[in-house]
Amino acid sequence: MLTAARARAGQAIFVRVAGLDGPANRDRIHGTPGPRWFADGSPIQRVHGDASMYVGGIRALLLQSLHPLAMAAVADHSGFRGDPWGRLARTSTFLAETTFATADDARRAVDVVRSVHERVTGEAPDGRAYRASDPHLLTWVHIAEVDSFLRAHQRYGVRPLDDAEADEYVAQVGTIARRLGATDVPADGAELAAAVESYRPELASTPAAVDAARFLLLRAPIPWVARLPYGVLAAAAVGLLPPWARAPLKLPRLPVAEATVVRAGGHAMVGGIRWLSA
Q: What is the pLDDT of residues 204-232, one digit of tens each?
A: 999 999 999 998 888 877 778 778 888 99
pLDDT, residue 254, reads: 80
Kindly report the number of other CB atoms within 10 A of residue 11's CB atom: 14
| Residues, the chain | 278
Q: Contact, 120 vs 132, CB < 8 A?
A: yes
Domain total of the chain = 1
Phi, psi for residue 42 in degrees, rounded to 5: -70, 165
Confidence band for 120, pLDDT divided at 50, 70 and 90: very high
Which amino acid, one-letter code, is at 18?
Answer: A
- Sign of the CA dihedral 72, 124, 250, 246? positive
pLDDT, residue 240, reads: 96
Inter-CA distances, 186 with 61, 135, 139, 182, 249, Å: 20, 13, 9, 10, 26
Q: For 92-101, what is the mean pLDDT?
A: 95
Q: Which domain holds residue 27?
A: 2-277
pLDDT, residue 174, reads: 98
Q: Contact, 131 vs 72, CB < 8 A?
A: no
Per-residue pLDDT tens for 141-177?
A: 999 999 999 999 999 999 999 999 999 999 999 999 9
Give the pTM: 0.92
Phi, psi for residue 131 in degrees, rounded to 5: -135, 130
